[in-house]
Structure 1
Amino acid sequence: MWKFAQFAYVAEQYGYRYSGLDPELRDSDTPFFVFRALPDARERAAVTRARFPGALAGGRLPGMRAWPVLTLPEARGEVRLLHARIAIDYFGALGRQRLRPWLVGIPVVLLFFLLVNGELHVRGLTVAAGAAAALFLVLAASRIFVRRRLATHQRLLGRSGVRWPP
């Protein structure tokens, strides 16, 4: 996501603004990020092309060091805010995924494996129950992690005066 935020910053220098997830695909399993052309996109692009003539040929990008692509100090704050906006959109898309299929599917798949392999007895069921419990713990921990990261990014945007999502 950090690289994506860096390139979103570069796109803004050329006149395109990151505007969040595509509302029509918001509930899909694959989030689709949208950029919109700014009203002054042509002028921004002309100024940026004049300042960085070799950018399109593999040269230095606006606000970035050439190779490896690293954010320069003057652009770091903007890239950090873009990263927070992208992360909120992405973590929000992850948070909307339903857990019920996982909660039903994991035990069913494990029971199916036990049945196919002829291990449907107490020891096999104990191992399957332990594996299912471990996977449930991983799912719960990932949800907690996502919520904490989301809150961290929302605080960063709140301190900067950015309301996201718009």
Structure 2
Amino acid sequence: MGERRIRKMLRQMESGEPVRVTGAMATTTKLARSAAMARQFGYEYADVRQDGGPQGKQYVVVIVPDPTPEARARAARNRSRYPRAADGGELPRLAPEAVELLKARITFDITAMYTDRQRIVLAGVGAVPLALPVGLVLGSGGMTVVLTVLAWAAVMALLPVGFAVNRRFEAKYAALLRAAGFTPVTDPEGRLRYLPPGGRLPGHGSPFAG
């Protein structure tokens, strides 16, 4: 995430409200760096969603105020050291290990965002605009429908490969988080999440629930 977007995020955080962070072609590393910077000024990573950008397909990280005394003290310390961080001044340096852990959390949350059944439905709908041009270009009359259906089936046949890749990523980042002392919990939507030691899901005793 570029410095311009980082500084915009810091200005939005001055409201004390939950903030949504995204950007064009934002990678999980860039999103993790944004969340890590927000942590320096009293916010914490809450969740990642896929509803950003003009078509609603970009990933959006949600950060919320962290009400713990440690977070309040860290924020006050960094506001004193970096008074112009939001307006072009010096920014705090981020610990690479903190960024990597946030990247692991964000990536795991992305892999656990949908169930296999939901992925099948989404893939089935998404495969239609991919298959239709094949039928229109290669077929005519009744063959258009036949070729479109065949192309759709070919795309759907790749789903098991996608599921296997997703599970491998999920297992990889779950292992990294467990090794770092993170605890698996189930959120109100039934999703498996990993929280840092002493961490709580937004809304569980926090007045700043997003």
Give the structure-2-normalised TM-score: 0.55
1:52/1:103 Cα in 2 relative to 1: closer, same or farther (>3 Å)?
Answer: same
Instruction: Tell me the residue number matched to 2:14.
Output: none
Equivalent residue pairs, number: 147
Aligned-residue CA RMSD (Å): 3.5
Unaligned 5+ segments in structure 2 are: 1-27, 50-56, 185-192, 196-210
**Partners of 1:14 and 1:44 within 8 A in 2:** yes
Instruction: Tell me the residue number matched to 1:51.
Output: 81
Distance 2:125 2:35 in 1: 39
Distance 1:86 1:31 in 2: 10
Q: Confirm whether residue 7 of structure 1 aligns to residue 34 of structure 2.
A: yes
Q: RCO higher in 1 or 2 (8 Å CA, sep ≥ 6)?
A: 1
Q: Which has the higher helix share?
A: 1
Q: What secondary structure is seen at the aligned counterpart in 1 of 2:142?
A: coil
Q: Confirm whether residue 159 of structure 1 aligns to residue 179 of structure 2.
A: yes
Pairing of 1:37-116 with structure 2 (within 5 A) = 37-40=66-69, 41-64=71-94, 75-95=95-115, 97-100=118-121, 102-103=123-124, 106=127
Percent sequence identity is: 31
Distance 2:98 2:125 in 1: 43
Unaligned 5+ segments in structure 1 are: 23-28, 65-74
Deviation at 1:77, TM superposition (A): 0.7
Deviation at 1:151, TM superposition (A): 0.9
Give the structure-1-normalised TM-score: 0.67
Residue identity opposite 2:33 in structure 1: Q
Q: Which has the higher strand share?
A: 2
Residue identity opposite 1:119 in structure 2: G
Cα offsets for 1:70-121 (capped at 9, x unmatched): xxxxx111111111111111211144634146448857x958x959x84313
Counterpart of 2:142 (choices 111, 120, 128) is 120
